[in-house]
Amino acid sequence: MSLKGKDFLSVHHLTVDEIYQIFDFARILKAKQKAGEPHPLLKGKTLGMIFQKASTRTRVSFEVGMWQLGGSALFLSSNDMQIGRGEPVKDTARVLSRYVDGIMIRTFSHLEVEELAEYATVPVINALTDLLHPCQAMADIFTALEHKGELKGRKLCYIGDGNNMVNSLLHICAKVGMDISVATPANYAPDATIVEQAAVAAKLSGSKITILDDPLAAAQDADVLYTDVWASMGKEGEQAIRKQAFAGFQINNTLLQAAKKDTIVMHCLPAHRGEEITEDVIEGPNSVVFDEAENRLHVQKAIMALLMAD
C-alpha cells in the first residue's frame, strides 16, 4: 500500500488503512518535531500553493510543514497568476507540473480541483473547496484519536451549517467507524450526495449517521462536539439571514451538559465567539481547539511526505 504519487482530494477516496497510515506517520513526524529531530523527507522538493481563498492556518501550516520537511513552498495568489486572468485550469496544471513536485490548492469550485488533478502530473492536495475540507477533517479526527485513544464506537456531534466541513467529517467518521450526528436548521443540511456516500461507508464500518434539526438531541452522549461558523467564506452576504436561522445552534454550557462529561470541543477556526460557540466553552477545559489547529501541521506534513517523497 502506497500513497506515493497519488492525489489527496477527498477522504472519500481513501481506504481505512490509508487514513491510519497518514495518522501513524503524523504521530511520528509530530514526535520528531517536538524533539527537535530533523526530518528532511522532502529535501529539494517544492510545493506550489494556489490560493483563491485567503487563509491563516492553511498557508502557515503548509509553508512551515514544507520547510520542516526540508523543502520549499511557493505562495501563488490567483490575483498574481494567469489562472486569475482566464488561463484554463488544465494549462496551469500542466505548466506547474514542469516546475514543482506537488500542488496544493484552496479554492471555491471542487470541479476545478478535480480538473487540476486530472491534468497535473504531480500530486494535487485539496486544501479546501466549497464542497470539502479534507485536510481539516483529517487533523480533527487525528486529534480525537490522540485524546480518546480509540475512534470506533465513539460519537461526534456536529452543530451548525451543513457546509464543506461537515461533508468531510461525514466521510471520515463513516470510514473509521465513528457515529456522527448532525444538527442543522431546515434548508442547511449537508450535501445529499455526501450523505449517501457516507452511508455506504458506514454500513461497512458499523457506524451510525443521524441528521437532525435538534442540537440537544444530537449532542446526547457525544464524545466530540464540533461546530463551524454560520456563514463560511463566500457566504458573508447571508450573515443576517443565517444569524436568525441558526439561533439556538450554538455550542454552549447547556449543550455541553447533554454530551459525555469528558467530551472534547472542536472548532476548525476562525471562530465567531458568541455566535456558533460561547467564549466560556472555547476557552474551557473541554476545548481542544488549539491542539486541533496545531495538528493541521503534523497531518498535512504526513500527507505531503507520503505523496511526494522519493
Annotated active-site residue 85? The verdict is no
Known binder of ligand: residue 106? yes
Backbone angles phi, psi at 104, to 5 degrees: -110, 140
At residue 84, the pLDDT reads 67
Number of residues assigned to the chain: 310
Known binder of ligand: residue 56? yes
- How many whole angstroms separate alpha carbon 279 and alpha carbon 298? 27
Give the SS3 label for residue 267: strand
At residue 82, the pLDDT reads 84
Annotated active-site residue 133? The verdict is yes
Known binder of ligand: residue 268? yes
Virtual CA dihedral for 26, 57, 83, 13, nearest 10 degrees? 40
Annotated active-site residue 191? The verdict is no
Known binder of ligand: residue 133? yes
- Which of the following is catalytic: 179, 228, 242, 298? 228
- How many whole angstroms separate alpha carbon 16 and alpha carbon 102? 24
The model's pTM:
0.97
Annotated active-site residue 136? The verdict is yes
- Which of the following is catalytic: 110, 173, 268, 298? 268
Known binder of ligand: residue 88? no
Whole-angstrom Cα Rg for the chain: 19
For the chain, first and last CA: distance in Å? 15
- How many whole angstroms separate alpha carbon 197 and alpha carbon 275? 30
Q: Which domains does the chain have, with CATH numbers?
A: 11-133+296-308 (3.40.50.1370), 136-292 (3.40.50.1370)
With vertex at residue 49, the alpha carbon angle to CA 228 and CA 6, rounded to the nearest 5 degrees, is: 90
Annotated active-site residue 157? The verdict is no
At residue 54, the pLDDT reads 87
Known binder of ligand: residue 134? yes
Cα–Cα separations (whole angstroms), residue 187 to 183, 212, 288? 12, 12, 30
At residue 170, the pLDDT reads 98
- Which of the following is catalytic: 110, 171, 267, 296? 296
Q: Could you read off the pLDDT tens digit of each residue along the chain, which spans 310 residues? A: 689 999 999 999 999 999 999 999 999 999 999 999 999 999 999 999 999 998 999 999 999 999 999 999 999 998 888 886 789 999 999 999 999 999 999 999 999 999 999 999 999 999 999 999 999 999 999 999 999 999 999 999 999 999 999 999 999 999 999 999 999 999 999 999 999 999 999 999 999 999 999 999 999 999 999 999 998 767 777 888 999 999 999 999 999 999 999 999 999 999 999 999 999 999 999 999 999 999 999 999 999 999 999 9
Give the SS3 label for residue 268: coil
Known binder of ligand: residue 286? no
- Which of the following is catalytic: 7, 12, 101, 106? 106
Annotated active-site residue 228? The verdict is yes
- How many whole angstroms separate alpha carbon 12 and alpha carbon 44? 31
**Closest Cα partner for 75 from 94, 100, 93, 97?**
100
Known binder of ligand: residue 92? no
- Which of the following is catalytic: 136, 197, 250, 300? 136
Known binder of ligand: residue 232? yes
Give the SS3 label for residue 70: coil
Fill in the DSSP letter of residue 249.
-
Tell whether the torsion through CA atoms of 103, 104, 105 and 111 is positive or negative: positive
- How many whole angstroms separate alpha carbon 70 and alpha carbon 292? 24
**Closest Cα partner for 124 from 268, 310, 303, 1?**
303
At residue 262, the pLDDT reads 98
- Which of the following is catalytic: 12, 133, 242, 298? 133
- How many whole angstroms separate alpha carbon 107 and alpha carbon 57? 15
